Amino acid sequence: MEAFTAHTGRAVPLRRSNVDTDQIIPAHWLKKVTRDGFEDGLFEAWRKDENFVLNRPERKGATVLVAGPDFGTGSSREHAVWALQNYGFKTVISSRFADIFRGNSLKNGLLTVVLDQKVVDALWELTEADPTAEITVDLESRQVRAEGITADFELDENARWRLLNGLDDISLTLQNEADIATYEVARPTFKPRTINA
Amino acid sequence: MGRTLAEKVWDDHVVRRAEGEPDLLFIDLHLLHEVTSPQAFDGLRQAGRRVRRLDLTIATEDHNTPTLDIDKPIADPVSRAQLETLRKNCAEFGVRLHPLGDVEQGVVHVVGPQLGLTQPGTTVVCGDSHTSTHGAFGALAFGIGTSQVEHVLATQTLPMARPKTMAITIDGELPDGVTAKDLILAIIARIGTGGGQGYILEYRGSAIEKLSMEARMTICNMSIEAGARAGMIAPDETTFDYLKGRDHAPQGEDWDAAVAYWKTLRTDDDAVFDAEVVIEAAELAPFVTWGTNPGQGAPLSANVPDPASYEDASERNAAEKALEYMGLTAGQPLREIDVDTVFVGSCTNGRIEDLRNAAAILDGRKVADGVRMLVVPGSVRVALQAVEEGLDKVFTAAGAEWRHAGCSMCLGMNPDQLAPGERSASTSNRNFEGRQGKGGRTHLVSPQVAAATAVLGHLASPADLSDARTPAGV
């Protein structure tokens, strides 16, 4: 996983709530067996409308998505995270994320930042009025900064440490191999097995 | 202080607990399918890792599989390639696989329980959000992403922060004609699509205790639509009866030891939930969705709501966008909404009782002119059982299409899709924009409402079917 320390970039204000992962990447894209090449599927249905915010020329190259509440609901498809990253987004800001989406994003180095809806409103107003306005998301100081806006955000220390260092979860877990082996030995015999011994 | 059901199962699976770290949980059962596993197997290969516990892992094919002509090569080359990738990966790593054409193939969340693999007090994961289904057995079951699929394949564990707990208590008797699907749709409408966020839900109360295992699965299945991390129901005699004798259920002394353990899996009287919701069963009615998320639902007797009636700006905005997408007008009676497609199936409502419930209403009746009805059993075993009971003949005599098992029109990854502008009454779990096909419009309903809707051509409940049935064979 790529490390995330801080990022500054222009924003895409997405004034929608309940943006489910079917909207982020429709199901027919899920037939691909790679982690890349999903950028053209990102918000595919909405992008058919030329006025959709992502289609506007002034949003080209933007890297910070500022979305309404309950972003990433629905399907557990990690392809939603890959699509956002493949398109070029480094971070997503919302007042509330769906749990599975948030877990997936943090495992891929896409920083999901939870801010109060009032701050999200202020970021929308700022970046709609001035598309060149930049937003800084600083994971080291756990702070979001933009013109006239400074807001602290929370992220648990363990997740932050893994992101800052770009650490691979599996390697970390395998350091506890002895604990796993001990647990396995003590498991009751009545637990189900998919392969009958 | 006592512990909740969720806390008991969680505590029994902690491999490692350390200050400032998420708990490392052992995973008892890992279910795989073709869509969310290819990149995980690639990761294993790149790191030179193996599958740690092949005996706790099982795969099937469901999302992409066609429901017609399954003996022929799959027409869509991309779908075919994805299924072939799963077969190649399972062969290479040694994972048990039930592919298309196998008698144990089906929707992954139907297959696990029917094999007896889903058991009380186990941890179950799958790269699919509807893994919450398995919570009906008092299992702790989470939908996970592909990175976590790889993690479980490699380590048989997952690092997870412990969610909070929410009790959803439903006491009393469900009125006639009100089903588990109506109940869960009403719960989601009440707490919202984000209401369960960060929580494990425990459904409890006398109305829940009276439900069959299949009805309990319908409820737990849609916990994710309320944003919850998982949903659970305490195991009881109904659970034990369902499991006894199944292929992978414990036997002999193991059965007795298992039941003794399972009986401890109840929330203690003095346990405290982080949140509680109480619902009176008697107040419920057949429920349908009108919008584009599962929280946008109402009793069938209601009208399409007026977005202006929402105080919250974000909800108002969402309702306006939903009505525009759905092609509905505020104030329109829900019963007057015409549909052209009816879908019975999915991990929510594709089990044998669901098919029986739909068939009981269609028996001696006809699907309305201009309505296409698809019946897709959740698994090959469900299909075989339905055929044995003659349900397939009831469906085809009524003019419905009887198909092969799979996820089908729930998400339209296979050819079963809505065309732009088409409208369905669907027993599935998501009414998102384009979920069942680009531009398609979905109303979520119970199997009974689906069947009545198919007969009348507009959203309807069985109580609306006052006409006499055509005697069978006429």
Residue B367's pLDDT band (cuts 50, 70, 90): very high
Tell me, what's the pLDDT at B1?
86
When the pLDDT of each residue in chain B is averaged and rounded to a whole number, the result is 96
In the numeric block, the tokens 């059962």 are attached to: B29
Phi-psi region at B101: left, alpha or beta (left = phi > 0; alpha = psi -120 to 50): left
pLDDT at residue B53 greater than cutoff 70: yes
pLDDT at residue B473 greater than cutoff 50: no
SS3 category, B119: coil
In Å, how far from its chain's centre is CA B261?
Answer: 27
What ipTM does the predicted assembly reach?
Answer: 0.95
Say which of B28, B54, B433 has its CB closest to residue A192: B28
For A107-146, the three-class secondary structure string (H helix, E strand, C coil) is: HHCCEEEECCHHHHHHHHHHHHHCCCCEEEEECCCCEEEE
Say which of B150, B194, B293 has its CB closest to residue A96: B194
Say which of B129, B144, B433 has its CB closest to residue A45: B433
pLDDT at residue B243 greater than cutoff 90: yes
| Closest C-alpha to B255, from B268, B265, B241 | B241
SS3 content of chain B, % helix, strand, coil (to 5): 40, 20, 45
In the numeric block, the tokens 């144990």 are attached to: B104
Burial class (CB in 10 A: 0-12, 13-18, 19+), B78: middle
The residue of chain A with its CA nearest to that of B408 is A27
Question: Contact at 8 Å (CB) between B389 and B412?
Answer: no
The residue of chain B with its CA nearest to that of A103 is B145
Question: By percentage, how much of chain B surpasses pLDDT 90?
Answer: 97
Question: By percentage, how much of chain B surpasses pLDDT 70?
Answer: 98
The residue of chain A with its CA nearest to that of B42 is A34
Question: Contact at 8 Å (CB) between A29 and A41?
Answer: yes
Say how far apart CA B224 and CA B144 lie, in whole Å: 12
Tell me, what's the pLDDT at B466?
76
Query: Per-residue b/e over B213-226, b at no fewer than 16 CB within 10 Å?
Result: bbbbbbbbbbbbbb
- B372 CA to chain A: closest CA distance, Å? 23
Question: Contact at 8 Å (CB) between A111 and A7?
Answer: yes
pTM: 0.96
**What is the mean predicted confidence (pLDDT) over B194-206?**
97
Distances (CA, A) of B424 to A110, B68, B405, B419, B451: 36, 20, 19, 10, 12
Tell me, what's the pLDDT at A2?
80
Are the Cβ atoms of A74 and B432 closer than 8 angstroms?
yes
Tell me, what's the pLDDT at B472?
46
Are the Cβ atoms of B159 and A169 closer than 8 angstroms?
yes
In the numeric block, the tokens 């020329």 are attached to: A57
Tell me, what's the pLDDT at A197?
54
Tens digit of pLDDT for each residue in B290-339? 999 999 999 999 999 999 999 998 899 999 999 999 999 999 999 999 99
A60 reaches B (C-beta below 8 A): no
The residue of chain A with its CA nearest to that of B228 is A99
Tens digit of pLDDT for each residue in B261-288? 999 999 999 999 999 999 999 999 999 9
Are the Cβ atoms of B432 and A31 closer than 8 angstroms?
no
When the pLDDT of each residue in chain A is averaged and rounded to a whole number, the result is 96
**What is the mean predicted confidence (pLDDT) over A133-147?**
98
Are the Cβ atoms of B147 and A45 closer than 8 angstroms?
no
Residue B470's pLDDT band (cuts 50, 70, 90): low
Q: Which of B146, B262, B320 to mutate to test binding with chain A, by most A CBs within 10 Å of its CB? A: B146
Tens digit of pLDDT for each residue in A32-80? 999 999 999 999 999 999 999 999 999 999 999 999 999 999 999 999 9
Q: Which of residues 104-123 of A touch B (CB under 8 A)?
A: 104, 107-108, 117
Q: Which residue type sits at B76?
A: D
**What is the mean predicted confidence (pLDDT) over B365-384?**
98
Tens digit of pLDDT for each residue in B8-48? 999 999 999 999 999 999 999 999 999 999 999 999 999 99
Question: Contact at 8 Å (CB) between A7 and A30?
Answer: no
Show residues of chain A in contact with B78, CB under 8 Å.
31-32
